[in-house]
Structures are given as structure tokens and as C-alpha cells.
Amino acid sequence: MKTLQASRSITELMETAQEAVVRAGRLLHEHWREFLEAGVGFKGPVDLVTEGDRRSEATILEVIRSRYPDDAILTEERGAVGRESEYRWLVDPLDGTTNYAHGLPVFAVSVAVERQGQLLAGSVYEPATGRLYVAGRGEGARRDGRVLRVSGTRELDRSLLATGFAYNLRETDETNLDHFDHFSRRAQGIRRLGAAALDLCWVAEGWFDGFWEYRLHPWDVAAGVLLVQEAGGRVTDFFGAPLDLCRPTLDVVASNGQIHGAMLRVLELGHTGMHRASSSTP
């Protein structure tokens, strides 16, 4: 049974997401060396987890539960937490764990909340720089109070794109290498930073014109998706259909909207091992 709750304002949801990411992000930054000295574990052959992931997640859950104890929460490390609810929080306590574990200051904390499949609010915090991103449904997207707008680039060959590769690159046919090859021959440049939440923030910021990546999880992208949308951009799956945050993995394309069709056409050139999701539309 879903727990029905009184309607909440977008503002209070945004404030909760912001508080959660900032508290967790400051913890990650201030105790960076201490967390790495505690050791780095492996969830798979190359998929890392650190004490920072766990402590950050615990901090975020504490903030959310203090305000909304009956809400559902989906987190990277613990999976589904709490009862089924009208509201669900999507939590990535440390996006860019490999960067963090190697001392590379490109990582983030991401928290979003959705209600019955619709994203309402989200926030991403970049601890190494202190940049704070926040968006609310119908309220726009901001970084440190400044309104964000996607870029105005109209041509793919003038575009700077971002992408990523899966942890299980050695074990899957869906490597993204075919798409990387096609895009590298058509875009002005491509960057691979290892933190999807920041890639999406930087599409919203206008620094990147577009982004694509295979098999991301809802917690990886939820806040960033809302930021791009509220900054005037477009986000779909590889076939141009809306994202379904109830799916366990997502193939994501985000752009300024101007080059979205061109990106989808390039993706059609290299659908290695891909199958159209049953919920997708032509």
C-alpha cells in the first residue's frame, strides 16, 4: 500500500535536497583522506565503494528521514529503503567514486525526489569547488543562485559533448565505443569525466552541448535530468522517448535541444547489442 501524504511545495523539497547534498558533500571533502585510509572496497571487478560512499549516504538519509520519515528512498549503496510511498527520493551519495578514490577532484553528491514518476526537485553538489546546483519543477535551474540556460549551439560539428563508459566494460557488448567513434568524427570534441551527475549539470550550465551514456541508474541522473529540463534542454532515451525512472537502468541522451535530433541520428549508427525498450515510442 502506498502511503498518501499531503501535497508539499516545490520549494521545501528543493531545500531538503540542497541541505542533504551540501551536508554530505562537505563530509566527503573534509574527511577525504580519512575515508580513503579506511580502505577501498569492490562491488565488482572494477566497481569501487569507499567509506565516503557509506558515510555520505547515511548523512543524506538522516536529512530526508528527519523531514519525511515515511517517504520511499532509492539509494546506490542500500537499494530501496523504507515503505512504498507517493514520494520517492533518488540518492547518489558519491557520483565519481573512482575519481574520489584516486584523489581526482571530479565527483558529486546528487539527490532528487519524484512523485508518481514526475521529478519535482533535485540538487547536485560538487564538493571540490563548492558549486551547488538546484532545480524545481516549474521553478527553473540555478547554480549558486544564478539562473542556468543551456547553450545555443545549433550544429553538432560545433558541439562539445560528454559521455561515459560502464564499469563492466570488459564484460559487455554494450561498450559505447561504437558511439564514441561515430560522435568523435562528427562533434567538435568529446570529454569523459566519470561523473554523470556533473555531465548533466554542465549541459544545464551550457558548458556541454550534449551528453549520452548507456545503462545509467535512476539515482545517477535524476537530479541532473531535472536541471537540464529546467534550463531549457531536452532529455530522452536513445530512441527519443521519455525516460522512465522506474526502470533499473537507463540509456540517456541530454542536450540543449538544438542538437538533439542530430545526436539521436548518430546513435542510430551504432546500436550494438541494443534492444528497444517496450515503453519506447518510434
CATH number listed for the domain at residues 156-270: 3.40.190.80
One digit per residue, the tens of pLDDT, for the chain of length 282 reads 454 455 789 999 999 999 999 999 999 999 888 877 776 665 555 455 678 888 999 999 999 999 999 999 999 877 888 778 899 999 999 999 989 989 999 999 999 999 988 999 999 999 999 999 999 999 999 999 999 999 999 999 999 999 998 765 566 666 788 999 999 999 999 999 999 999 999 999 999 999 999 899 999 999 999 999 999 999 999 999 999 999 999 999 999 999 999 999 999 997 644 444 333 333
Among candidates 195, 136, 186, 143, which has minimal Cα distance to 161? 186
Class of domain 10-147: alpha beta
Q: What one-letter code names the amino acid at 140?
A: G
pLDDT for res 123: 98
pLDDT for res 272: 47
Kindly report, as residue ranges, where domains of CATH 3.40.190.80 are found in the chain: 156-270
Backbone angles phi, psi at 184, to 5 degrees: -65, -25
Output b/e per residue, 99-117; b: 16+ Cβ within 10 A.
bbbeeeebbbbbbbbbbee
Asked if 63 and 12 count as a contact pair (C-beta separation under 8 A), the reply is: no
Q: Across the strands, what pairs with 42?
A: 48
Q: What one-letter code names the amino acid at 121?
A: A
Element housing 266 (H / E): helix 260-267
pLDDT for res 275: 41
SS3 262: helix
Lateral strand order in the sheet of 189-191: 189-191, 160-163, 210-216, 250-255, 234-236
Kindly report, as residue ranges, where domains of CATH 3.30.540.10 are found in the chain: 10-147
Q: Give the Cα separation of 163 and 213 in Å (integer).
A: 6
> What is the pTM assigned to this prediction?
0.89
CA dihedral 220, 224, 226, 229 (to 10 degrees): -130
The residue written with cell numbers 499531503 in the block is 6
Element housing 37 (H / E): helix 32-37
Asked if 118 and 137 count as a contact pair (C-beta separation under 8 A), the reply is: yes
Asked if 242 and 119 count as a contact pair (C-beta separation under 8 A), the reply is: no
Q: Give the Cα separation of 203 and 228 in Å (integer).
A: 6
